[in-house]
Structure 1
Amino acid sequence: VQDDVTEGRSHLNISEWGTRKFHGDEAAEEVEKGEMPLSIYVFTHPEANLTAGEKEQFIQGLKETFGGESEEQEYEEEQ
């Protein structure tokens, strides 16, 4: 489990908000594909098994909060 957490944080670590860019569109894509949350996590935390509506809200929230490719390009241009 720790390896999964470490890998996930390398892509999206909320503790580093404001210090680096995030890939909100990539995180949203993982949820859309059903790759997140991990099945082992859902097995041990059944409440993490999202309904279709919850998934859609979560995906939209990721995109709005962390942005997509256009926001990442703007971030890179500012740096």
Structure 2
Amino acid sequence: MTMKDPKSYDLLSYIVVFLGFYEGVLPFVAKSTDWEPFLSLPRHLSSPAWWIVSGLVIVASFFSLWGIDIAKKRRHPDA
């Protein structure tokens, strides 16, 4: 994937948001409702580990989105 187009940055942002939600936020919702999403990997960990992993995924997603936005503005200031 080349980053010559602002839509490439948008696609990367959408992927990060999806992964951040599915692997970071969704395990908290699933644990509180006793729902077991199959592909949510932190959901399958034991009690203290899934909190840490899900929290780290949320933080990493936030900073990744922040970095992608900065890179997009630097590369395409008019977009």
What is the TM-score of this pair, normalised by structure 1?
0.42
Please identify which structure carries the higher helix content: 2
Structure (1 or 2) with the larger CA radius of gyration: 2
TM-score (norm 2): 0.42
